[in-house]
Structure 1
Amino acid sequence: MKIAQIFSLIAGLALVPMAMSATATDSSAEAKIKQKLQDTLGVNISLFQDSPIEGLYQVLTDRGVIYVTKDASKVFHGNLYDLDNGMKNLTEAALLGPRVSMLKPFEKDMLVYKAKNEKHVVTVFTDVDCGYCRKLHSQMQGYNDLGITIRYLAFPRSGIPSANADEMQAVWCAKDPLQAMTDAKSGENVKASTCAIDIEKQYRLGMAFGVSGTPALILKDGTLIPGYQEPKDLLRTLEAKL
């Protein structure tokens, strides 16, 4: 299998604009590896560092983490686990900090259902049509009553472009986006309108985070929790992080 084919197995090929991490302190060898990854795989690199395995670099790209040999001849995409540390997912751990920093520019575009007595904030990549997204939304008051603020970003499961993405664009551009989200998740049609919100960028961010389905929950420390959790279950998860 060609190296470029590896990524054809990953859902979606959209790219998230990221700044290359190459600096004046990079060795020429590392710079050449970065360039080869860009040219061969078409990825953008945001972090390039030694991995926990000797002889491998760990590279954070707009499609998640990949590992590349130091001679740039071999690359693999997948999770790395620590057998001596309770099967800790080292790949997931590598994404925590970057997810937190990458979320910051998107805060102004999030649809926020704020808890009155806020104790926790959870960012949810959501889709207006998925069943568990609708279930989560129907329990919004339950999350809020427990002090959990829910912030939405769009992740249209049908990809970009699609009717699904257009529907979510209409929600974000509505005069009252919070009500429009409730209407859409109740099966109502939200009238299309235009605005400066870029749903595609939100979708691409989710791809970079490793989101493959909805809902996908991002906690304050950058942890990704795939799937739905009842309000009380989510609270227990959040409190266990403290």
Structure 2
Amino acid sequence: MKKFVIALCSLGLIASAQAQQKPDGAQYEKVHQLFSQLNLSVNAVADAPIDGIVQVFTNRGLFFASQDGQYFIEGKILDMSKRELLNDSQMRPYIQQQLADSKNDIIEYKAKDEKYVVNVFTDPSCGYCRKLHNDMQGYNDIGITVRYLAFPRGGLGSDTYLQMQNIWCTKDSRGALDAAKEGKKVAAAMCENPVKSQYEMGQSFGISGTPAIILPNGRLIPGYQPPKQLLSQLESGS
């Protein structure tokens, strides 16, 4: 396990005398300034479960920093008492809240006898996304509802980004997505759509590829999961 700690003293943004102070509004502002130096936009800042450390939710995922701003921590932090990654446990509530706020902008494939709901960031041009989509009946048959969110891997302005705008703006968005997953062209259709905001939200979760599956508890699973394997993880509640 690699952990990279980069000293940022040379930025001169926060004096070392503040090291023992409890974070307040002014110090959080310094955190914003500090992360801006790294081209990271701060969405939220909170005390971490580690003394002297704050957790910073950014447009590129979760990072940690010392309260005095001297150290920026990039990497995984393991909670030995629980044998779990702090990065994961602290991200889950944040992910759940963000997804709850976006529940009306998804494309849903609902199970008849729904037991679980998963959110999946997808890209029509992604091979494993197509494999997941081809297994949709299998997920639905075992009670898993799939809610799709857009994550064009090529970024904003890419051909896939424009294609996903067309899909979300078509009256039959499910039919358009089905066609795109089969490699068919989707007719142009423009409207106010959530593709950009969903892509940026996925990045804030630390997602860089597709498919990316979010379980109900906020856990992020990168990559394709066969129906039975996904059901097993859902049943375990981990």
- Alignment TM-score, normalising by the size of structure 1: 0.84
Partner SS state of residue 228, structure 2: helix
Indicate which of 48, 62, 84 corresponds to 1:65: 62
Partner SS state of residue 52, structure 1: coil
What is the distance in 2 between the residues matched to 1:31 and 1:203? 26
Partner of 1:107: 103
Indicate which of 37, 41, 58 corresponds to 1:40: 37
Distance of aligned partners of 1:26 and 1:111 in 2 relative to their CA distance in 1, 3 Å threshold: same
Partner of 2:235: 239
Are 1:56 and 2:53 matched, yes or no? Answer: yes
**Uncovered stretches (5+) of structure 2, i.e. residues with no partner:** 1-5, 9-21
Partner of 2:27: 30
What is the distance in 2 between the residues matched to 1:149 and 1:213? 21
Task: Verify the 8 A CA contact 1:127 1:156 in the aligned structure 2.
Answer: yes
* Partner amino acid, structure 2, of 1:74: Y
Indicate which of 125, 132, 137 corresponds to 2:128: 132
Q: CA deviation at 1:169?
A: 1.1
Note the aligned Cα RMSD (angstroms): 2.1
Indicate which of 202, 206, 213 corresponds to 1:206: 202
What is the distance in 1 between the residues matched to 2:36 and 2:150? 29
Q: CA deviation at 1:104?
A: 1.8
Q: Percent identity?
A: 43
Query: What is the number of equivalent residue pairs in this alignment?
Result: 220
* Partner amino acid, structure 2, of 1:79: K
What is the distance in 1 between the residues matched to 2:68 and 2:23? 16
- Residues 81-129 of structure 1, C-alpha deviations (whole Å, 9 max, x = no match): 124433x111111100011111122111100000111110000000001
Q: CA deviation at 1:209?
A: 0.7
What is the distance in 2 between the residues matched to 1:32 and 1:221? 31
Task: Verify the 8 A CA contact 1:120 1:149 in the aligned structure 2.
Answer: yes
Larger Cα-atom Rg: 2
Q: CA deviation at 1:52?
A: 3.5
Partner of 1:158: 154
Q: CA deviation at 1:70?
A: 2.0
